[in-house]
Chain A
């Protein structure tokens, strides 16, 4: 199946800073999603983005399917952005999750 690698594994930011999280995948995809797991353990769907670019407030994501990567941008970070960000990808099969990027935003 598809291999999914995320980088960096950990990230510490000062409130207000911007960041870019990366997701590399090993094969062509027809499903790619970004999730945020908050400190209470809830998993929230951020973007469904097998290709192209989407924006939702301070967050945006871009997937370049031909080059097999996706990027999640967080601008003007807030302490509530802390948690783990997961990328998940699949061809026409079940999603494979990366191991996540743990983000800590300090005030």
Chain B
């Protein structure tokens, strides 16, 4: 049981490049989400999904795209990276949307030059 797995752990991009952060969970969790963590800002929700085929925007969705074609996977796409997207990104999942315990991946540190 691997839990929540994120890849890559580290990435450096140039402004304007695109990339995808991968997130997979093997716990049959209904709910998956992406957060970004910046100094002094805590954790802010980017996008979330309450089940396969369903996604919704969180607090800071601009510049990011998501899809949920399977229960297990929830990739986060940066379409045209900007320096403001330099951050640590966390994927998290829970068994039930809104009321379940949230489990986090190990994080992905992204630097945009």
Contacts and interface: CB of A to CB of B under 8 A. Distances in A.
A92 B98 CA distance: 6
B45 A31 contact: no
Nearest to A40: B106
13 contacts: A35-B104, A42-B106, A43-B90, A43-B92, A43-B107, A45-B102, A45-B103, A86-B42, A90-B98, A92-B99, A95-B45, A97-B44, A98-B42
Please give me the 4 A-B residue pairs with the lowest Cβ-Cβ distance, nearest first.
Answer: A43-B104, A97-B43, A99-B42, A48-B101
Interface of A: 30-31, 33, 35, 41-45, 48, 86, 88, 90, 92-95, 97-100
B48 interface: yes
A11 to B, nearest CB: 17
Contact of A94 (B48, B88, B103, B106): B48
B19 to A, nearest CB: 20
